[in-house]
Structures are given as C-alpha cells and as structure tokens.
Structure 1
Amino acid sequence: MNQRSIPQLLDYQGSSPKPGDFDVYWERALHELDHQTLAYELVPAGFSSELAECFHLYFTGVGGARVHCKYVRPKKAGAGKGAGLVMFHGYSCDSGDWMEKVAYAAHGISVLAMDCRGQGGLSEDNLTVRGTTVRGHIIRGIDDPNPDKLYYRNVFLDTVQTARILMTMPEVDPERVGAFGCSQGGALTVACAALEPRVRLAIPVYPFLSDYKGAWALDITTSAYEEIHYYFRFFDPHHLREEEIFNRLGYIDIQNLAGRIQGRVLWVTGLADTICPPSTQFAAYNKITAVKDLLVYHEYGHEYLPYLSDRTLQMFMTL
C-alpha cells in the first residue's frame, strides 16, 4: 500500500485479527472497573498560577496500582460547571508541564492529565506477569496464560477511570468532557472515548497501538512497533506462534475499539509518519462510525504539527 495515498488509506481496514471474544473481554474489564472506587487524593502542586489551581491527583486503579495525574482547574470563583479535558502522553514520557494545561484553564476548561503506569511519570506499575517484555510495553503480558494480564488492558481502564473522576469534579459538567493525546496518547484518547461513551469530543494525534500485524509487515525496526520484531527474533524466530501472538494483541488494538466511539472525533495524521505508519492509523480511523473529521498534514510525520495547538484549544472551548 502507498502510505501516502489518501484514497487507498481510506479503504484500508487493517491486517490484524479481532479476537472472537473481544467484546466479552472488554465488557468483563469494564465490569471490573465499575467496582473500582472513584475516590481520589488532591495534593497542592509547587507550580502556581494566577489563572489556575494546580494539584497532583492520585487514585487507585485496577489491580491496586497508584495512578498519578496532574489536575489544573480554573481559578474563577462562581463560574459554575465548565468543560473538562483528559490528556494522555506519548510512549515512555509523562503528563507534561503545567503550563500547557494552564492555557486551557485560562479558558474555563479543567484538565486532568494521566501518567501511564510504569513509564516516565509517577504512576506505579504493579502488574505481575509471566514471560518476557524484551523491551517496551506492547508485549508486556503477552506470554501470560491470562489475557487480562496485558499491560495495556490496565492502562486503557486507567483512562476510563481518569475520565470518570474528572466527570465527578464539582467544577466540571460531565456532559462536556473531551480527550486529547499524541502518539501513545492518541491511542489512549481512542481507547478512552471508546470505553467511556460520554466523552463528547476526542482528538487523537497520529495514534499508536493500532494494526499490529500491519505494522509488523512494514519496516518496524525503525518504528514504535519495533518490540514486536524483537519478540519474534528472540522468542519465536520460526513464527510458530504468529497467529496466536497477533490474536492476543488484538485485545489491545485500538482499531478493534474504534467502532465503539459515540462522541465526535477529529483525527490528526501526518502522511510522512515513519514512527506510527499512516496505514496503521487509518485502520482505526476507518472503523469509526461516529461523526468524524480528518486533518491531514501531508509533509509532516511524527513531530510538531503547526497550528494544531491553537485548533485543539478552540475546539475544546466549544464543548
């Protein structure tokens, strides 16, 4: 497939399988989450602003992990309930600086930005699994007999819990909550909007974690999907378990979740992306049946995209 041919990309439906019990798998996961408390702890942050109040927020996620978020809310007294935004970060990073969140708070939007378990932030990863990871998180739990041990199952559920907590905030209107993130954060934006249907607007930017088999068929040693290559290289060089492996990864493939989204979606992609190849992104985009728009940066890849910050702020202001 021509990675930069939009007509071809808009027809692409992905190469990875969808497990036969996929819907049962996620309904069971959401049932577990329904029994998880939405209680949280707020700790004033060292960062201060005349426009916003800044806090560290902690909650207990599935499996008992302590999950950390940055919470920034407007400092406008008597403003009533406003919009809310959950934010998700890129692979191995953290929830980012306070400043970008203050910009939203200055426009009346409360922001809750989650640290992924066991990555660059303060959230802990207490998952105990059998098997190796080689490197990275995609394959964490792939060799465990229990598919519920997949690392990203818990992270996807953390995104839902983060959104639900934000929806309980006294200053937030639960019907006016959006989701945003780039790369891994884009994938988590899709997962959050798919698993929490009240998310009204989702803006995923060049999302990761989609169409694993399609990514593997490309030159993934230079992409974010390289750990799949290394897994086969070290643990299944003859690909005797290829079908089993890709079926297992199908549980945490956002293209299999995308059809559940009910809110509006603005999908942002760069056609020169070699980190998360465009075809893997379109495999998920093409399965969205909700109202959606596509914003294409033809000469851009996995990088800073001009004017995007302004556009996303303006869109979330309409929530």
Structure 2
Amino acid sequence: MKKLNCITLLFVATLLGCYQQPKETITTPLYQMYSDAWKFHAGEGVDSLWQNPDYNDAAWQTVSDLKLLKDQNVALKNGFGRYRKTVQLNEKLQTALYEQGGITLHLAKFASAEEVYFNGQLVGKTGNFPPDYTGYNDGERSYFVREETIRPDSDNVIAIKFFDGWSAGGFLVSGTAEPFSLSSASTPDKVGLTIAVADSDYIFLSPEPVKVSARIENKNAWAVEGILTVKLTTDTYDSLTTYTLPLTIKGKTTCSDNLKAFNSLPFTPGFYRYEVSFARKDSTVVYGKKSLVIGVDPEKINSPIDAQTDFKEFWDNNLQELAKVKPEYKLTLQPEYSKSDYNIYLVEMRSFGNELIRGYYAQPKKEGKHPIIVEYMGYGSLPYPPNQTWDGFAYFILSIRGQALNLPYHHYEPNWITSGLDHKDNYYYRGAFMDVIRALDFVSSRPEIAADKIGVRGGSQGGALSFVAASLDKRVKAAAPNIPFLSDYRDYFNIAPWPKSDFDAYMQAHPEVKWDDIYTLLSYFDIKNLAQWISCPLIMGFGVQDNVCPPHINFAAYNQVTSEKHWVAGAEYGHSTGAAYYDEVMQFLKDALK
C-alpha cells in the first residue's frame, strides 16, 4: 500500500506584510444590552424587502430570545424563520464606533444556518441554506459591522433569516443570559483567519501531497503580535504534531499563505483534523481559530468486517418472518399535495411483527409504467411529502416504525438506537430494517411501477437504510446513500460524541452489561457487514467535516461494496452534502433506471 510520506504546511516565516509595528492600546469592550423582544415571521421571505429598515413588520408576531421558539409555540415554515429588531446606540457605543471603525454584533448560541443584515446590508452568515445546506451549526456568532453601515444617532434594524430543519432553531440561549448584544469592536474582531486546502474536495489521493495554507488579515490600524499554532491529529484525536510560529502583522495588511514545512509524517489512509489558531503570546486573547478535516486515500481505509458466524442466517430468517406478515396495504389520497403531477397517498401497511407503518406515495398522473425512487428518512426527521412536479420518477417516502408518520404511535424506548439492546431479536433496528424491505414490497405491488427499475436513496439514517435495502433485496437496481449512519461502531464511538452518549447513558443504567456485548449485538446491524452483499451500482455522498456520521464510518461500509460505485465529497460540508451531490444523484438514478 502506497503511503503519503509527508504533508507540506505552507506557513513560512517570511510572510507578506509581517513587520514590526507599534502595539495596540488594549481597552475593555463596551457592551450594550437590549430587550428580549424580536419580531418574527415563519418562512423564507421570497421578496427582498423584509431585511430593509423601512419594511413594515407590524403584522409579525413578537417573540423572546430568552426562550426557544418551540417553547413559545412558534413553528417554522419549511425549516425557515426570520427575525427583525430595531436598536439604537448609546453615547458610549457611538464614541467607540468612531474610534474603532465599527461595532460587533453578538448572537450567542444560534441554530443552524443564518444570514444577518444590519440596515439592509449583509454583515455576516454562517453556513448555507438549502439546497446547498452545509450542516448543523449551533455555535456562538459574532459579526463585525462597519461604521458606514451604521446610523449612530438613529434607529438601526437588525434582520436575520435562518434555517433549521431539525428543530425550532433560532436563538438557543434560555434562562437569564441575554443572547443578543452590541459591543465596541476589539482587536480580535478585526483579525480574520482562513484556511485553504489545495485539493478542492479536501480529499488527497496518492501520490498527491497534502497542502494546507493559512491567511491572516489584520483590519486594525495597528499591528498585532501573536503565535500561530497548528495542531494535527487523527480523526480519533490522537496527536500527531504541533507547530508554532511567532508573527507580527502590520496594520491593514494580510499575511498570506505559506506555513513552514512540518517534518515528514507517515500518513496512512484516513481522515485528519487540523486545529489552527492565532493568539496573543499569553493566550489571553484569541484573534482567530479554525478547524477542518481532510482525507487521505479513503478507499484504502481498513475497517474489516466483524460479522458473527450466524449473520447471514439471522437476516435470512428475518426476511422469512417478514414474508409471513400480510401487508394489508391501505392508500388514502392527500388532496392538499395532489394538485400537480402526482396523486399523493398516505400508505399504511403491516410490517415485521405485524407493526403498522406508514409512508407517502407519489403516483404519477401520467399513464404507463414508471421507475421509482424509494426514499428513507433521517433519524428523527419530521414527515414530509414527496416530490410533486414530474421529473420522470414515482416516489415513495417510508417512515420506519416509531418515527415520522409513525411517531404518534411510538411505543419504543425514548432513544430508538438504544431500544431493545438486551438481545438482538429485540433490538429496534431489527424491525426497522424489515420495514425497509416492506417498502420495496409495496412499490413492487403497484401496477404502474416498473418493478425492475427501483432505486433507493436517503441521508444519515436514510443513507444507512439505503445500504440495507441494496444489501438485503436484489430488487434494488441503484442505490444513492449519503452521509450514512449505523456503521463501524467501534471506530464511530471513538470519533463522534453522538450516538456514543446515548449508549453511555444506557450503560450507566445497566451496569451489568459489557461493551463487548453491545458491540457484538451491533455487529448484526452494522451496514459495514451488510454492504458486502450489494450488487447494484452505488453512489455515496459525504461531508468531509461531518462529525455526526463522520466520513471514516461512511467509507467503512463503502469499501465493502464490490459492485460499480463512486463517491462525491462535500469539502466544507458537515452533516450534509449539498445541491451538487443531489444533481449528480438524480443523473445517476436516471442513467441506472432508464
């Protein structure tokens, strides 16, 4: 196996713009706090006027930033919501504004992707909105607002549009802490640190050398001094090396590129974390901090199959048991979704253990036999209807037992993933995996469906279930999983905090249980072990920065697939893959199911 022998970190001491300059005068930032009241409106806001200062928001409801939206019985629309707030600057903040050339806007913890406008001007954003969603982010936000954007002695309007497909989103701070404030700008607010990766998808394939570079921009009028620190670890946080470089950066200049080369490192296939920071020598002030993950030869990652000797027998028996259950399909038209090119039906059917499960079926209004895409949903996702505009496919979106459309009838333990861990026959995903096959039974029974043209897709849990469908049922002719879950548990639990945290809680409540017992049970439900049975073409998408279903576990399953396959990396994406992957998947499915 060929290894990359070294990494070149392009940060050299002769950085452009790095010269000795007078030090700053350090002052304590001045903060101005405001009431908790905001105007709120659900939805994306298709017009471009809502963020403008003179927009009339009198009809918007008033909400508090001290409570979660869901605790105020406020719902989003298609995952979107918008805030507006009018603020004034006090005299001290006005004075600081002129001295510092701007102010800093603080949102504290916020979810999950947003754009922030000040008097109609975009002053900052975190993440991207769908269809190019880059993943969940609930960190604290601070944005520098330039002097020319601000009305010092008049009303100023802050407008925020955000997306959160998982929960109510928006301000996450609750209790007595004030999540929103304005402050005088301090030196760190005007120092920007960015990291660049030479390979556009952040995946380096031998013999390509790994190259990462940094750029520090100092927008202050004075020079800043600090230590640039780069820490390199494996994706399991094992330290490899640390590099430090003292820098002085002239005011209004940029130190661009070029870190001093690390010593040669024996890179093996896998994923690696970079932590890059620029801070004062005493570390009391951090000017900037960034982290990222890159991959090296991921198709050579070695995560061996650990299936038990009765693994195949176990799943053959489950399929036989499922076949004994009469599905008793019931279809109910959903008129509100059926106004375009499909009739949308709520489907109810019996699955493994005679469990009643549900899904949405999009039956084309066009005559003839049609290919179909069966979609499996993410863990805990809320129900949503299928595509309603004709694109050449029929659709079925399954809600597995206890989730989505079945949530009102939920009878499992609070966390599905730890429900039934006492025995593999009782484990939640035994029945859930059979629900996946029952969905294929349903679509194959429909006279308008070409049963030899079935594709599957899904993200996260849905990505894992797509692997399951293609592994256990040859009726699947094409599979398009992305950011797949439920894989390579021993490594998974050393990389990501969740779902390990749920298992930790289970172990605390059941001290008699041993971790080896848990891992043995989970091996029956590990898509890494199932993937060896896939024979159809497959495309997998993953987010290189994903720490929910990290790319290591995605490739643990992918690398066991022996059929035609390829992958698509989202370089800057977390638990998401973005619009480009979606477009490629649709073309892949059209080609595979034509």
Question: Structure 1 length normalisation: TM-score?
Answer: 0.88
Q: Matched residues in 2 for 1:26 and 1:5: separation?
A: 36
Counterpart of 1:181 in structure 2 is 458
Equivalent in 498, 514, 518 of residue 245 of structure 1: 518
Equivalent in 336, 339, 345 of residue 49 of structure 1: 339
2:404 aligned partner, one-letter code? G
In the alignment, structure 1 residue 66 sits paired with structure 2 residue 352: no
Q: C-alpha displacement at 1:116, in angstroms?
A: 1.8
In the alignment, structure 1 residue 96 sits paired with structure 2 residue 384: yes
In the alignment, structure 1 residue 235 sits paired with structure 2 residue 474: no
CA spacing shift, 1:185–1:264, aligned 2, 3 Å: same
Q: Matched residues in 2 for 1:143 and 1:16: separation?
A: 23
Counterpart of 2:46 in structure 1 is none
- 1:210-229 correspondence to structure 2 within 5 Å: 210-218=487-495, 220-221=496-497, 223-229=498-504
Deviations 1:249-285 (A, max 9, x none): 1111111111111111001111110111111111101
2:459–2:483 CA contact under 8 A, matched in 1 = yes
1:116–1:155 CA contact under 8 A, matched in 2 = yes
Counterpart of 1:32 in structure 2 is 321
Counterpart of 2:371 in structure 1 is 83
Q: Matched residues in 1 for 2:379 and 2:305: separation?
A: 21
Q: C-alpha displacement at 1:8, in angstroms?
A: 4.7
1:74 aligned partner, one-letter code? P
Counterpart of 1:270 in structure 2 is 543
Deviations 1:29-55 (A, max 9, x none): 011122222441110113222211110
Equivalent in 147, 158, 165 of residue 442 of structure 2: 165
2:417–2:428 CA contact under 8 A, matched in 1 = yes
2:349–2:357 CA contact under 8 A, matched in 1 = yes
Equivalent in 87, 97, 122 of residue 406 of structure 2: 122
2:422 aligned partner, one-letter code? D
Q: Matched residues in 1 for 2:304 and 2:564: separation?
A: 24
1:143 aligned partner, one-letter code? D
CA spacing shift, 1:71–1:225, aligned 2, 3 Å: farther
1:97 aligned partner, one-letter code? P
Counterpart of 1:154 in structure 2 is 431
Equivalent in 462, 483, 507 of residue 206 of structure 1: 483
Q: Matched residues in 1 for 2:590 and 2:306: separation?
A: 38
Bigger Rg over Cα: 2
- 1:100-115 correspondence to structure 2 within 5 Å: 101-103=387-389, 106-115=390-399
In the alignment, structure 1 residue 12 sits paired with structure 2 residue 301: yes
Counterpart of 1:313 in structure 2 is 586
Asked which structure has the greater RCO (Cα within 8 Å, sep 6+), the reply is 1
In the alignment, structure 1 residue 254 sits paired with structure 2 residue 527: yes
Q: What's the Cα RMSD here?
A: 2.0
Q: Runs of 5+ in structure 1 lacking a partner? A: 128-132
CA spacing shift, 1:71–1:240, aligned 2, 3 Å: closer
Counterpart of 2:418 in structure 1 is 139
2:579 aligned partner, one-letter code? P
Q: C-alpha displacement at 1:196, in angstroms?
A: 0.9
1:65–1:126 CA contact under 8 A, matched in 2 = no
Q: C-alpha displacement at 1:126, in angstroms?
A: 5.2
2:529–2:557 CA contact under 8 A, matched in 1 = yes
1:84 aligned partner, one-letter code? I
2:372–2:449 CA contact under 8 A, matched in 1 = yes
Deviations 1:100-124 (A, max 9, x none): x224xx0231111111211232364
Larger mean CA deviation between 255-264 and 89-98 belongs to 89-98
Larger mean CA deviation between 223-232 and 276-285 belongs to 223-232
Q: C-alpha displacement at 1:11, in angstroms?
A: 2.2
**Larger proportion of strand:** 2
Q: C-alpha displacement at 1:73, in angstroms?
A: 1.5
Q: Matched residues in 2 for 1:294 and 1:253: separation?
A: 20
Q: Matched residues in 2 for 1:169 and 1:154: separation?
A: 23
Counterpart of 2:565 in structure 1 is 292
CA spacing shift, 1:179–1:31, aligned 2, 3 Å: same
Aligned identity (percent) is 28
2:488–2:526 CA contact under 8 A, matched in 1 = yes
Larger mean CA deviation between 201-210 and 223-232 belongs to 223-232
2:521 aligned partner, one-letter code? R
Give 3-state SS (helix, strand or coil) of 1:269's partner: strand
Q: Matched residues in 2 for 1:61 and 1:190: separation?
A: 19
CA spacing shift, 1:60–1:240, aligned 2, 3 Å: closer
Q: Runs of 5+ in structure 2 lacking a partner? A: 1-233, 236-270, 272-292
Aligned residues: 301
Q: Matched residues in 1 for 2:334 and 2:500: separation?
A: 35
1:60–1:67 CA contact under 8 A, matched in 2 = yes
Q: Matched residues in 2 for 1:14 and 1:107: separation?
A: 38
Deviations 1:60-89 (A, max 9, x none): 01111111010002111x3x2110111011
Q: C-alpha displacement at 1:173, in angstroms?
A: 0.7
1:51 aligned partner, one-letter code? D
Counterpart of 1:130 in structure 2 is none
Q: Matched residues in 1 for 2:513 and 2:369: separation?
A: 55
2:436–2:469 CA contact under 8 A, matched in 1 = yes
**Larger proportion of helix:** 1
1:63 aligned partner, one-letter code? G
In the alignment, structure 1 residue 23 sits paired with structure 2 residue 312: yes
Deviations 1:222-257 (A, max 9, x none): x34431232234434xx9611111001111111111
Q: Matched residues in 1 for 2:471 and 2:569: separation?
A: 22
Q: Matched residues in 1 for 2:589 and 2:441: separation?
A: 18
